[in-house]
With several copies, the nearest count.
Chain A
Amino acid sequence: MSVDFCGLTLAHPILNGSGTFDALAAETVFGAELHKRFPFSAYVSKTITLQPRLGNPPPRLWEAASGLINSIGLPNRGLVGYMEHDLPRLAQLPVPLITNVMGADAEELRELVAACDAQQAIAAIELNVSCPNVKTGLDIGSDPSQLEAVCLAVRAATSKPLIVKLTPNTADVAACAAAAESGGADAVSLINTLRATALHPRTRARWLGGGNGGLSGPAIRVVALAQVAAVAARVGIPVIGMGGVQSSEHARDLLDVGASLVAVGSESFRDPGVAGRIAAELTGAPSAPLRASPGR
């Protein structure tokens, strides 16, 4: 069940959601087993920005009903740090690397994309357009015409596959996908997290250091399915579906409404082995069962 995706040949349709699996930390924790049983057919980096970011002050997590809100704030070493420190190690992963980037405007994004384009180790680029526009406060990606303009601007900077990760916090995600397509995107991915918040049980102030955060996990699965279906029905380019996937049935749902690939996000937090099981179940490969002894 190998999948052709924008010219890349992937072993199966399961990826990670950006920011939900740190392959470098996982090497430390799981050692060689990680590479031997690498669960994703391509690895998506967390979001990289031009400048380094520390991320939001803690607390960064809130557990919701069947989900979690995160307000991590995109900590990363910045473009230079990524290229120097992370990329050489990510290049050693047994699968193609997709680098996810975010910028405050088209110019920043163009710079990030151009830098990625120059790296052989990067197989494809994902644009995270859930960044709030400084003027409107809305996600850049929430307005179709603005999104199309951004895509046109960065498209010129790379010949690598360009994936636009749409924001779900919009009235018409299919229109946004169509805008990305006409802006030259090779694929779209969705859904990112739903804007959400929580209060401190005692102080009544916002719980999260970042104020608002994004909801992920099973709670958003049926919203994701509707958005992915709407997008897949509208655009001709491939769609990467994600949101609350916990099992091969959930992945199958997304594929059946038109996704070409499926990403597993929060569920990997609960079990980093789940994506491998899902991939095996989808491809009919013998799956590593849940068992008491570590599999080696």
Chain B
Amino acid sequence: MSEAGAGRPLAAFGRRILKVTRNEQLGAYRLLWVDDAAGPVPAPGQFAMIAAAERWGGGCDERPYLARAFSIARRLGNGEAAFMLEDVGPGTKRLCELRRGEGLAVLGPLGRGFSPAAAGQRLAVVGGGVGIAPLAILQDALVAAGAEHVTLLGFRDRVHAEAATLLGDPLVATDDGSVGHQGFVTELLEAELQRDPRLAVRACGPPPMLEAVRAICARAGVPAELALEAPMACGFGSCYGCVVPRRDGSYLRVCVDGPVVDAEQLERVA
């Protein structure tokens, strides 16, 4: 399985305490910035295991205990890195309250990121909700490389859709039609595939969205890379907790064999 890691940016061995530089609101989300100038430069799609350096624990049900996985959403030239947070439980709650100057324990960058576009290949970057996080850094790389692409994002409503600004000026769909197309982002993808059936897809978002993307791409016969999520204890392949079944019935570990996987590997995204 080390094969999967060929060429991936390596993580420092052991977690590092980074300083929070900013904690910004981004629609319904928070953007947590840390100074990681001394750390390895991540590839788009990689993630980190993070925890508050102090007071990690003592929340609801005496949690959190384990670190939490977050996509690296952006990395600036000055070494600042951003995580995009949706407050869904005790871990994200604690992370959302971190202030400038406080410490963040970070292990990473981890996992297998998106592959670069093949020469001449046009990409559709498709995301939903907080799943847009790894697509921001991916888009940064595509822009830097001058790679042709279209960005399609889906959100619940206007407040959540404010986060679309993270990726400049993408095409947006909202469930309630308050911004952009009313409906699913996968409808935008299907329209795009009509226009350009030779697209390759890079996607991240909630499982139903990813499953729809997978099914659409399979039908259209276009290659898709999906950034998966799974509950993780370690993030570096040691606990075997983050498995997802492959098409052949064996399990892949999302943290080392993913989080970005070829859609073909999966029977479906659950």
Q: Which residues of A contact B (CB under 8 A)?
A: 19-22, 24-31, 33-34, 37, 54-55, 57-61, 63-68, 70, 72, 75, 217-218, 246-247, 266, 268-274, 276-277, 288, 290-295
Contact = CB atoms under 8 A, between A and B. Distances in A.
A209 B195 CA distance: 43
B14 A63 contact: no
Given A24-B2, A217-B65, A30 B236 contact: yes
Given A218-B62, A273-B15, A61 B236 contact: no
A29 B14 contact: no
A294 B38 contact: yes
B240 A60 contact: yes
Given A67-B65, A70-B239, A291 B17 contact: yes
B4 A28 contact: yes
Given A72-B241, A75-B251, A288-B14, 6 more contacts: A22-B236, A22-B238, A25-B2, A270-B51, A271-B105, A292-B38
A68 B233 contact: yes
Contacts of B51: 270
Chain B binding site: helix, strand, loop or mixed by DSSP? loop
- Which of the four size classes fits the interface of chain B? 35 or more
A20 B249 CA distance: 24
B256 A295 contact: no
Interface of B: 1-2, 4-5, 8, 10-19, 35-40, 51, 57, 61-67, 105, 107, 110, 230-234, 236-245, 249-251, 253, 256
Contacts of A218: 61-62, 65
Nearest to A60: B241
Contact of A272 (B35, B238, B256): B238
A20 B238 CA distance: 6
- Point out which of B35, B62, B251 has the most chain A C-beta atoms below 10 A from its C-beta: B62
Contacts, number: 164
Nearest to A76: B240
A50 to B, nearest CB: 19
Contacts of A276: 14
The 10 closest A-B pairs by CB, nearest first: A273-B14, A25-B237, A294-B12, A293-B38, A65-B62, A28-B5, A269-B234, A61-B241, A31-B10, A28-B2
A24 B15 contact: no
Contact of A25 (B61, B230, B236, B245): B236
Nearest to A24: B2
Nearest to A74: B240
B15 A290 contact: yes
Contacts of B18: 292
